[in-house]
Amino acid sequence: MAEPNSIKHYPVDNGDMTLIQIGTKGSGKTILVDMRIRDVNEDQYDVASDIYNHLPINSDGAPYVDLFVLTHPDNDHCLGFEKYMHTGSPSDWSKPEDGKPKKIVMNEIWFSEICTKRASKKVKLSSDAKEFRAEAKRRRQLFEDKDFSRETNGNRLRIVGIDTDDSDKKESWNLEGMVIDRGEEVNVGAGKALILAPLDSDIFDEDHEEDKNNSSIVIRWTVNGSEILLGGDATAHIWKHIWEERKGDTSQLTYDILLAPHHCSWHTLSYDSASKVKNPKVLPEAINALSQTNSGAYIVSSSKEIDEEQSDPPSHLAKKEYVKMLDNKASRFICLADSATKTMPPKPRDFKLSYTGVSLVALASVASSSSAVIPRQDKPIRHG
C-alpha cells in the first residue's frame, strides 16, 4: 500500500519511473511521472507487480492513477505504456484475459506538445510513444467537439507549455482550458505543481538545437510541505535558462529531493563533452539552478551503477558535482542501482514527505520509519 504523502523511485536502469502519493490512496492523488516497465528477469525488480500493489481501484475494478505525466516521449520514459495503460474511452475498460495485466486507467494526462513538434526526424517515436500520442489526440478531440465527457475521469488532458514559434506550421495544441503555462502553479489535490519548463524556441541556436530532451517537462512539486524537483532529460542549456529566469527569486528552485536529470548525465551540468574535452568545465548557471537544496536534501540517480568505466549516462563526474551540492554528504546521493546484491535486483527507494523534511525509508521494510527526519534550516542562496 502506498504510504500517505510519499514518493517512490523505481529502479529501471537508465530510465525514469516515479510514483507520488499526495494524501491517502483513494482519497488523495496518486501520480505517476514517466514509466519504464520491462519484461522481468532475475536481474530486474518486478516493477509491474509493485506498482499494482500501490494503485487505488475504481468502482469498475480498474487500477488507476489520478494523473500520468510524460516528461517527454523517449522510450526510457514511456516503455510499457501500450501494454499496461488503458487507452480509449474509460467506459471500454474491461477485465483482462487470463495472463494479461489489468490496464491502468489514467484519470488525467499531462504532456508537452512541444516535444512532439521537436521530435527528431532521425529518432522515430517508439510504439509506446505513438500509443500515448494517439490517446492524447483522442482526448484532444473531446475538447474540439465540446464533449462534456472531456472533464470525466479517464478523459482529461492538459498541455504543459506551448511554443510561441509556429513557423513550422505544425499542428497547434493550444486549446482554451487545456494549457498550463510555464511559471504557473497548479493545485493537484492538496499538493502543488510549479511548471518550470519546457521553454520557448527562441533559446535555441546552431550550437544548442531543439530536441525532445530539451523539451522535457520540468516540475517542482510540493507535497505536504516537501519540495521535489523532477526534470526529465533536460540538459545544461535548459537549466541555464531556468536559472536566468528565476535567479532573482530562487524560492521556486529549492528542493528536498532532486531526481538527477537525464539519469545523472554530465550533459545536464556542462556544455563540454567529458569524452572529448581534457578538462571539462561545469556550466555555472546550471549548477546554480540545481543546487538550491533545502537542509537534509537528497539527490536520486535513476540509472545504472555509476563508476568511471560506465558510459554517460550515468556520469561519475556529474555524481561528484551533485555530492558537492549536498555539502559533500555522499550518503544523501542515492543511486537506485546501488541497492542490488549478488542475489537480489535493486529495489525502489521510498521517501516520506512532511513539513519538517523528508525521510528515506529503510530498504529492509517499506513501512519502516527508522530513517530520521532532518528538520529544515534556513540556508544561504547558492551561486555556484
pLDDT range class, residue 315, cuts 50, 70, 90: very high
Report the pLDDT averaged over residues 147-171.
78
Answer whether 18's CB lies under 8 Å from 38's CB. no
Distance CA 236, CA 240 (A): 6
Percent of the chain whose predicted confidence (pLDDT) is above 70: 85
Q: Is 53's pLDDT higher than 90?
A: yes
Q: Is 173's pLDDT higher than 60?
A: no
Distance CA 285, CA 281 (A): 12
Answer whether 7's CB lies under 8 Å from 351's CB. yes
Q: Is 168's pLDDT higher than 70?
A: no
Residues 201-235 pLDDT 10s: 766 655 555 556 678 999 999 999 999 999 999 99
Distance CA 382, CA 295 (A): 12
- Give which of 312, 296, 269 is closest to 377, Cα–Cα: 296
Residue 384 has a pLDDT of 46
Distance CA 87, CA 105 (A): 8
| List of domains in the chain | 6-360 (3.60.15)
Ramachandran quadrant class, 213 (left: phi over 0; alpha: psi -120 to 50; beta: rest): alpha
For 280, counting Cβ atoms within 10 Å of its Cβ (0-12 exposed, 13-18 middle, 19+ buried), the class is middle
Find residue 264's DSSP bridge partners.
Answer: none
Report the pLDDT averaged over residues 70-79.
94
Q: Is 73's pLDDT higher than 60?
A: yes
Q: Reduced to 3 states, what is the DSSP secondary structure of residue 50?
A: helix
Answer whether 159's CB lies under 8 Å from 174's CB. yes
Residues 317-340 pLDDT 10s: 999 999 999 999 999 999 999 999
- Give which of 242, 363, 364, 342 is closest to 291, Cα–Cα: 242
Pick the more confident residue, 192 or 312. 192
Q: Is 349's pLDDT higher than 50?
A: yes
Other CB atoms within 10 A of residue 315 CB: 28
Residue 106 has a pLDDT of 98
Q: Which residues of 234-264 are buried (b: 16+ CB within 10 A; e: fewer)?
A: bbbbbbbbbbebbeeebeebbbbbbbbbbbb
Q: Is 308's pLDDT higher than 90?
A: no
Q: Is 348's pLDDT higher than 50?
A: yes
Residue 175 has a pLDDT of 66
Q: Which residues of 133-158 are buried (b: 16+ CB within 10 A; e: fewer)?
A: bebbeebbebbeeeeeebeeebbbbb
Report the pLDDT averaged over residues 354-381.
63
Answer whether 57's CB lies under 8 Å from 67's CB. no
Nine cell digits for residue 82: 501500450
Answer whether 189's CB lies under 8 Å from 22's CB. yes
Nine cell digits for residue 268: 545536464
For the residues of 227-242, what is the DSSP string, one character each?
A: EEEE-TT--HHHHHHH
Distance CA 117, CA 223 (A): 32
pLDDT range class, residue 371, cuts 50, 70, 90: very low
Which of 36-50, 121-135, 266-280, 308-322 is predicted least confidently?
Answer: 121-135
Residue 112 has a pLDDT of 87
Residue 300 has a pLDDT of 98
Report the pLDDT averaged over residues 169-194.
82
Report the pLDDT averaged over residues 178-184.
91
Pick the more confident residue, 56 or 177. 56
Q: State the average pLDDT for the chain.
A: 88
Query: pTM for this structure?
Result: 0.91
Residue 373 has a pLDDT of 44
Residues in contact with 58: Cβ distance below 8 Å, sequence separation at least 6, in sequence order: 64, 105, 153
Q: Is 152's pLDDT higher than 70?
A: yes
Residue 41 has a pLDDT of 77
Residue 379 has a pLDDT of 47
